[in-house]
Amino acid sequence: MGKALDILLGRKSSKFSLLEHAITRNSYLKNRQQAVFSFSQSDVIQLLNLGHQEQALLRVEHVMKSKNMLDAFDMIESYCHLLKQNMSLIEKKQRMP
């Protein structure tokens, strides 16, 4: 009866609110990682302009790790939005015997 009442009153399920929280948290972490990526990238450019190729090469590893993390955050964001779009279908299938 509680779930039916929540649906009738338009309340969001706890799973939905957890998903919203995950999307928000992912966005925050992605923005932080974007800042790290931008800083690392500009650091490499500056080192190359100063002629410090060996140091720049060492810093490129940080740039690559940051880019990989950004790609992972993008994938997580896409999956979360896909789950959000299909939440009603998922909940219907769970209720079926």
Residue 86 lies in a domain: yes
Residue 8 lies in a domain: no
Residue 44 lies in a domain: yes
Residue 1 has a pLDDT of 47
Name the pLDDT band for 88 (thresholds 50, 70, 90): confident
Whether 89 has a pLDDT exceeding 60, the answer reads yes
d(CA 56, CA 48): 6
Residue 56 lies in a domain: yes
Residue 96 has a pLDDT of 73
The verdict on pTM exceeding 0.75 is no
Residue 75 has a pLDDT of 97
Question: Which structural domain, as residue segments, surrounds residue 70?
Answer: 13-95
Q: How many domains does the chain have?
A: 1
Give the model confidence (pLDDT) of 11-67 as tens digits.
Answer: 556 777 888 899 999 999 999 999 999 999 999 999 999 999 999 999 999 999 999
Residue 49 lies in a domain: yes
d(CA 24, CA 87): 17
